[in-house]
Structure 1
Amino acid sequence: MQTKIGYFASLEQYRPMDALEQAVRAEKIGFDSVWADDHFHPWYHENAQSAQAWAWMGAALQATKRVFMSTCITCPILRYNPAIVAQTFATLRQMYPKRVGVAVGAGEAMNEVPVTGKWPSVTERQEMTVEAVQVMRKLWESDEPVTFKGKYFVLDKAFLYTKPEDKTVPLYFSGMGPKGAKLAGMYGDHLMTVAADPATLKNVTIPKFEEGAREAGKDPSKMEHAMLIWYSVDPDPDKAVEGNRFWAGCLVPSMFKYKVYDPKEVQLHANLVHCDTIKENYICATDAEGLIKGIERFKEAGIDHFCLGNSSPNVNYGIDIFKEVIPAVTE
């Protein structure tokens, strides 16, 4: 599958208008896609933002002409009702044909707990996500009102009058562990994962995704392996590393394992992450060659659609340098 290079317009890190300007700039440089984080709380406290992704996407789609656009990632089970998620992305997909997708996952405590007070087990949240996807697809596809009574969600003669193009929205399903990756293959159109050890991606995550796809009667060769990873580029190597500090909390396992939802607490943990750990897990480069090497490392593991979060000290430089990078990693 042809490698695609996407730009992650971080609504947690940048003011929404700044992120929109980045999206426009990224399209002009040659990025294939733009992704928006669908968060309520951010992964850092200081100098953070938290714009609503769907509102931002409507503006960004109108401001651009070509790029595919999706959230990364929407949790359709707690603070959002899956029927409303279905309606939102059906609307966007009808208005901007072939340019809109949605990525779904079982959520993070920082987004769900503050506004619902709920945080079910990961197993239950995965079950809820699968059922939510079923609800969304039924609403997109059905020519008749839908009545559905699941374990978690109910539809009572619900009908989407505004249908998406082709009665579907490309759905990226989040899969990080083996179980999540298999569920992604079974219920998603494509895989969305996050930066991990390339060997794990190659030997566990992607095989499990493809196993799930085959069990569901799908052709894995037609399904993307997308991955979110942050990068920072600066001639000063230390500045390049520290540029990614904003996202260091994602490297702390307890942030996912426990009900941590206060960005101040997340930041305390992020600031304790060693520079070497950031360098090992994210792309920290001093030039285009360093970015190319960082991308190729994951491309060799089987990733074919990159969702690249720009944490460079000079954000515009971090976009413009891809004039050199994109041809090198896609040809």
Structure 2
Amino acid sequence: METKIGYFASIEQYKPMDALEQSVRAEKTGFDSIWVDDHFHPWYHTDAQCGQAWAWMGATLQATKKVFVSTCITCPILRYNPGVVAQTFATLRQMYPKRVGIAVGAGEALNEVPVTAQWPSVPERQDMTVEAIEVMRKLWESKAPVSHKGKYYNLEKAFLYTKPDDEVPLYFSGMGPKGAMLAGKYGDHLMTVSADPDALKKVTIPKFEEGAKAAGKDPKKMERAMLLWYSVDADFDKAVEGNRFWAGCLVPSMFKYRVSDPPEVQLHADMVGKEMMKKNFLCATDAEGLIKEIERFKKAGITHFCLGNSSPNVNFGIDVFKEVIPHVK
């Protein structure tokens, strides 16, 4: 499978218009895809933003020419009703054929608790995600009104009058073994987040393939995408520290427990050591260094990179890929 290089335009790290301008620049540089965070609260507090992803996607799709655009990651189970999620992405895909996708996952307290005051257990949220996908697919595929009485969601003669000509590709977020297996069973592709390459190779991807085969799918035809933050600067220490905004993502308790206050997340992020950031993120001083870092994760089995730019000089962090992309593809 051909390696794809995507640009993660963070609207929690950058103002929405700045992220849009980055995306236009990234497309001209040669990136294959644009990904955007679908969050309510950001993963850091100081100098943070947190725009609304769907509104941003419409503007970015109009401002770009042909690049594929997707969320990374939408939680369709609490603050969003899966029926409304299905409608939104059907509309976007009809307006921009073959250019729109969605990545879904069981969510983070950071985004769901502030506007719902709810935070079910991990197993329950995974069950909710599976049912939400069932609801979304029914609405995308049905040629007649849909009624659904489930454990978590109900539809009564619901029908999407606006549909695209083809199905919206759905990336399923799988981080642990169970999540990866669910991604194989219920998603079109895997989406995972910054992790040790050894864990990807030995656990995440094998479990994803196991789930896909159990559902009668060919995992060789399914992408293994990964959200991965990078920072490039002539000063290597500055490059490493550039990724600090996202260091909270390396603290497992941030995903497991009811932590929804960005200042608290930032306290944990600021305690993450540089060695851990170097191991799990991309840190480099030039194009050659980025190529070596990307190859590390290619060898672990990643086929579609969603690269979040935390470089001290953001434009340089995009332009350097004119040299990187031809080598890693």
Q: Equivalent residue for 1:3?
A: 3
With normalisation by structure 1, the TM-score equals 0.99
Give, in angstroms, the shift of residue 279 of structure 1. Answer: 1.0
Q: Equivalent residue for 1:199?
A: 198
Q: Is the 8 A contact 1:42 1:48 kept in 2?
A: yes
Give, in angstroms, the shift of residue 198 of structure 1. Answer: 1.1
Deviations 1:77-132 (A, max 9, x none): 00000000000000000000000000000000000000000000000000000000
With normalisation by structure 2, the TM-score equals 0.99
Q: Equivalent residue for 2:295?
A: 296
Alignment partner of 1:136: what SS?
helix
Give, in angstroms, the shift of residue 281 of structure 1. Answer: 1.1
Alignment partner of 2:135: what SS?
helix
Matched, 1:55 2:55: yes
Give the distance between the partners of 2:272 and 2:208, measured in 1 at CA. Answer: 30
Q: Is the 8 A contact 1:178 1:205 kept in 2?
A: yes
Q: Equivalent residue for 1:69?
A: 69
> What RMSD over aligned residues (CA atoms) do the two structures have, in Å?
0.6
Summarize the alignment of residues 114-263 of structure 1 with structure 2, pairs less than 5 Å apart: 114-166=114-166, 168-263=167-262
Deviations 1:209-246 (A, max 9, x none): 11111111111111000000000000001110110000
Alignment partner of 1:38: what SS?
coil
Deviations 1:144-197 (A, max 9, x none): 00000010000000000001222x100000001110000000000000001111
Matched, 1:285 2:284: yes
Alignment partner of 1:6: what SS?
strand
Give, in angstroms, the shift of residue 26 of structure 1. Answer: 0.2
Runs of 4 or more consecutive aligned structure 1 residues displaced over 3 Å after TM superposition? none
Give, in angstroms, the shift of residue 289 of structure 1. Answer: 0.8
Q: Is the 8 A contact 1:98 1:165 kept in 2?
A: no
Give the distance between the partners of 1:218 and 1:198, measured in 2 at CA. Answer: 24
Amino acid aligned to 1:57: M
Amino acid aligned to 2:74: T
Deviations 1:37-73 (A, max 9, x none): 0000000001000000000000000000111010000
Alignment partner of 1:317: what SS?
helix
Summarize the alignment of residues 88-107 of structure 1 with structure 2, pairs less than 5 Å apart: 88-107=88-107
Q: Equivalent residue for 2:16?
A: 16
Q: Equivalent residue for 1:82?
A: 82
Q: Is the 8 A contact 1:231 1:309 kept in 2?
A: yes
Is there any run of 5+ residues in structure 1 with no aligned partner, and where?
Answer: none
Give, in angstroms, the shift of residue 303 of structure 1. Answer: 0.2
Aligned residues between the structures: 329
Is there any run of 5+ residues in structure 2 with no aligned partner, and where?
Answer: none
Identity %: 80
Q: Equivalent residue for 1:329?
A: 328
